[in-house]
A and B are shown apart, each in its own frame.
Chain A
């Protein structure tokens, strides 16, 4: 097995949690983010689509959902920045017998905004799990699993996955999830009941272009300061909502393509969003061989390319749905399918290469220690 290196973050440091097709990595820097120190690989050989950092109640806990092609998936946690990881004896995310389903992958781990011991987990096949004891035990959210439309959901290229979980910053009972390919569903009673919520979102690949559900939503983000403001990167389509996702309008103004996966929002500025447009669903690579992050500063009225420090020649890159993050320090971070990780400490005006040569990157999260 490969030699594993470790990081020791200090208070105030920035930590990137990077999941790849062959393991997880950590990258530590101080606030200046000029130099990065690598930790990992952890879970070498396993695909890590989901990672999270839980700093509630004074914790410094990493979560990861490694999936071994051979031995399945067990959620792991670390309280010492990856030096040791929990080894649950039994699989902690498990479909109950009545579901007649088997876990394929973990796509998202999200600590609750409102309850210090609650976490959510989105998985494939598309389902939501919830823990109310800080991740010790998990239960399937029955209301979504039992939704009468579920048998009609179809897998996208990555499988039938629940990849986005947005707990409303100001309404504990309101949760929105996104599923490829089913679209978005919202609950207003803490997960007991769910309804599709995709008004105005196009399904280019269906005869009915605006169905009640069935859209291939790639990523959704929500402002924590202004929760009615949301943005959506669709399988064709770039949208904004000003009513908590109840309706969506097209904001693909000046982008080379409205196809893409990744999307990140500034935690403190509801008007600032970053995306990485891809040429098409037939050619999922950056247009013209140029790796361009596009930023809007005005809620999508205009998008501008942020390219300084990014390759602008022969760069046929792809950034997947969860492989981009932004933080309150004006940081933007992303990883590519070709194993590069880039960071900007100034909203994308200038980029640096954190590392080049990782396995394909599928997840990037940023945490302030």
Chain B
């Protein structure tokens, strides 16, 4: 199965300077799919996920256009061919 990850600008230096990463593997959930990304680019993980395994509060993850905060979080199921976007939230000051 294949998954496509879209990497935001500030994190591309940790992902081989790529904005789009396609990886093959087997994933039932977003957490599984992200593990494929962490395995390839471990430095991205700590920028997206906290030590306790939560998505950072000002980071949003969308699967096929839907925020995982509106579904089952990291437990959200992913389909073969899913598009997974990692995006900074609209926050600041």
A interacts with B: yes
Instruction: Given A94-B51, A101-B52, A102-B54, decide whether A70 and B42 contact each other with a Cβ distance below 8 A.
Output: no
With CB as the reference atom, state the residue of chain A lying closest to B46: A91
Once bound together, how far apart are the Cα atoms of A90 and B42, in whole Å? 7
* Chain B interface bracket (under 10, 10 to 19, 20 to 34, 35 or more): 20 to 34
A87 an interface residue at 8 Å Cβ cutoff?
Answer: yes
Partner of A89, one of B14, B51, B54, B89: B14
Instruction: Given A87-B13, A90-B42, A94-B46, decide whether A70 and B52 contact each other with a Cβ distance below 8 A.
Output: no
B18 an interface residue at 8 Å Cβ cutoff?
Answer: no
Per-residue contact bits, chain B 42-53, to A (CB 8 Å; 1 contact, 0 not): 110111101110
Contact residues in B for A69 (Cβ distance below 8 Å): 58, 91-92
Contact residues in A for B73 (Cβ distance below 8 Å): none
Contact residues in B for A89 (Cβ distance below 8 Å): 14, 42-43
With CB as the reference atom, state the residue of chain B lying closest to A100: B52
Complex contact A102–B58 (CB within 8 A): no
Per-residue contact bits, chain A 56-91, to B (CB 8 Å; 1 contact, 0 not): 000000000000111110100000000000010111
Complex contact A90–B46 (CB within 8 A): yes
With CB as the reference atom, state the residue of chain B lying closest to A73: B46
Which residues between 43 and 76 of chain B lie within 8 Å of chain A, taking CB atoms?
43, 45-48, 50-52, 54, 56, 58-59
With CB as the reference atom, state the residue of chain B lying closest to A96: B51
Partner of A74, one of B45, B46, B91: B46
Once bound together, how far apart are the Cα atoms of A90 and B56, in whole Å? 15
Per-residue contact bits, chain B 1-42, to A (CB 8 Å; 1 contact, 0 not): 000000000110110000000000000000000000000001
Once bound together, how far apart are the Cα atoms of A95 and B43, in whole Å? 17
Once bound together, how far apart are the Cα atoms of A97 and B13, in whole Å? 27
Complex contact B47–A71 (CB within 8 A): yes
Complex contact A72–B52 (CB within 8 A): no
Contact residues in A for B88 (Cβ distance below 8 Å): 70-71
With CB as the reference atom, state the residue of chain B lying closest to A71: B47
Complex contact B10–A70 (CB within 8 A): yes
Partner of A95, one of B51, B91, B92: B51
Instruction: Give, as a whole number of angstroms, the nearest-CB distance from B23 to chain A.
Output: 18
Contact residues in B for A91 (Cβ distance below 8 Å): 46, 51
- Listed in ascending order, the chain B residues whose CB lies under 8 Å from chain A are 10-11, 13-14, 42-43, 45-48, 50-52, 54, 56, 58-59, 88-89, 91-92
- Listed in ascending order, the chain A residues whose CB lies under 8 Å from chain B are 45, 68-72, 74, 87, 89-91, 94-97, 99-103
